[in-house]
Amino acid sequence: AATMAAVALVAAGPLVAPQVAGAAPGNPGAPRYSAGAASIGDPYFPDAGNGGYDVQHYDLDFSYDPATRFMDATATITAVATQDLDRFNLDFRGPEISSLTVNGHPHAFTRDGQELIVTPRPKLKTGQTFTVVVRYAGVPAVVTDPDGSIEGWVPTDDGAFVAGEPQGTPAWLPTNDHPTDKATFRFTAKVPEGLTAVGNGQLLSQRTSDGWTTFVWDSTEPMASYLATITIGNFVVTETTTAGGIPVYVAVDPRQVAGSASAVAQLPKMIDFFSSKFGPYPFASTGAIIDRAPNVGYALETQTKPVFSGAASVSTMAHELAHQWYGDSVSPERWSDIWLNEGFATYAQWMYTEYNGGASVTQTFNSSSNYGRAASSSFWQTVLADPGPVDMFSSIPYNRGAMTLHALRGKVGDDTFFRILREWAANNRHGHASTADFIALAEKESGQHLGAFFDVWLFQQGKPTTW
């Protein structure tokens, strides 16, 4: 289409095409404005993500008072149009919006469920960088998932537990909420003095005045929106570095210090162990946020600093840190690819257990929660490569996913297997990839046809017996 447009302009001579709105018959060089898609087309979450633009950066500047649960926020979103746009959507379930501008022009907008619908004027042309500023204030949302668990902005007794996999971040920040549109993030969070706001990335500054402390957190590597956090509470903060030189920032609720001591002590060693197996740690810093949110009941691999809703065990810490390579740096292309996150992190957990002197990976593979499950168990009846939104965080992607990797290791041998894991991290660093991409890489690195192998493990129901 670009070539045809260029030819048409040459044929028409040096006249500049008039900038008219809409498709212009007989004038193929003119912009063809249309609405960006209201969805990225991921069937697990049909409202998630949007088309027509690519976000570069999110900046959120806000205050939050746990006593009132009230947030007062300004979000500035910088994006590039990928088509000529007369309308685009963001995903937002947050509080009332008081104003919205595009490139400094105030705009009317509408909201429909999680869709925030913007009609920019002037309209936006392909390749144009634009800035959306959204001001909003009120109580951010708690989102309930298909499996019944809660996420988003979850108030705690001393702040808020903030986690967004798979669809919680629009509870408090307007986003293009899909792992295929990564961006850098900066959070400027003002909270009552004595509390700490802990975000992804590096702490740029921390200043207290008039009874409020403002924390500025900077994520310099691209991040999927579901991995964002700015968790607030009363925290004991410890800063160290790993033997490999990565800065570590750990924030622990005082009530979780004793129960998390062993996991926290081993964090630097885990980062170094995984670096030796998976390749260089993909981010500028690491750490953890160990909170108390009893109604949540899970941990999440929020980028650079996994967040825990209760005391962190050694194996959960290993799982969340392994996700920094598999999940955070290499994110799933579609949510049905979730085994690429959970199977890999679970396998890494098995590896760390073995490294730490516990059960061998082979023993764990054969245990009663894994391959030792009876063939009649309903566990085997879910297709790993498409578990569905209700089962995406069930034992299927975790345990069957890890078993698939161990079976692959047996098939291709240790050298090839670990080369596949390292190449997977290196080739897709700070990006996203699909199950088909993984199969292609495994075949390339092993030189084997693995279609039948992956068919049995990923695409068929039933307990694999031969592969």
Which residues make up the interface to Zn ion (CB under 5 A)? Answer: 342, 345
Yes or no: say if 424 and 433 are a contact pair by the CB < 8 Å rule.
yes
300 binds, among Zn ion, ligand ARG, none (CB under 5 to 8 A by kind): ligand ARG
Q: What residues make contact with ligand ARG under the rule CB under 6 A?
A: 145, 147, 149, 151, 165, 298-301, 319-320, 342, 393
Cis bond before residue 106 (omega within 30° of 0): no
177 binds, among ligand ARG, Zn ion, none (CB under 5 to 8 A by kind): none
Closer of 50 and 399 to Zn ion (Cβ) = 399
Alpha carbons 159 and 154: distance in angstroms, whole number = 9
Yes or no: say if 424 and 408 are a contact pair by the CB < 8 Å rule.
no
Closer of 315 and 356 to Zn ion (Cβ) = 315
Closer of 109 and 393 to Zn ion (Cβ) = 393
Helix, strand, coil abundance in the chain, percent, nearest 5: 30, 30, 40
Residue 451: is it exposed, middle or buried by C-beta count within 10 angstroms (0-12/13-18/19+)?
A: exposed
145 binds, among ligand ARG, Zn ion, none (CB under 5 to 8 A by kind): ligand ARG
Alpha carbons 115 and 406: distance in angstroms, whole number = 41
For the CB of residue 338, give the shortest distance to Zn ion in the complex, in Å.
Answer: 9
For ligand ARG, the nearest residue by Cβ is: 149
CA dihedral 353, 417, 286, 160 (to 10 degrees): -70
For the CB of residue 260, give the shortest distance to Zn ion in the complex, in Å.
Answer: 18
For the CB of residue 467, give the shortest distance to ligand ARG in the complex, in Å.
Answer: 26
Alpha carbons 7 and 4: distance in angstroms, whole number = 5
42 binds, among Zn ion, ligand ARG, none (CB under 5 to 8 A by kind): none
Closer of 167 and 446 to ligand ARG (Cβ) = 167
63 binds, among ligand ARG, Zn ion, none (CB under 5 to 8 A by kind): none
For the CB of residue 319, give the shortest distance to ligand ARG in the complex, in Å.
Answer: 6
Closer of 84 and 145 to ligand ARG (Cβ) = 145
CA angle 327, 328, 334 (to 5 degrees): 50
147 binds, among Zn ion, ligand ARG, none (CB under 5 to 8 A by kind): ligand ARG
Yes or no: say if 220 and 201 are a contact pair by the CB < 8 Å rule.
yes
189 binds, among Zn ion, ligand ARG, none (CB under 5 to 8 A by kind): none
For the CB of residue 169, give the shortest distance to ligand ARG in the complex, in Å.
Answer: 12
For the CB of residue 344, give the shortest distance to ligand ARG in the complex, in Å.
Answer: 11
For the CB of residue 219, give the shortest distance to Zn ion in the complex, in Å.
Answer: 20
Closer of 164 and 201 to ligand ARG (Cβ) = 164
Return the SS3 of 47.
coil
Phi/psi for 437 (5° steps) reads -65, -40
Closer of 124 and 385 to ligand ARG (Cβ) = 385
Alpha carbons 157 and 174: distance in angstroms, whole number = 26
Alpha carbons 144 and 133: distance in angstroms, whole number = 27
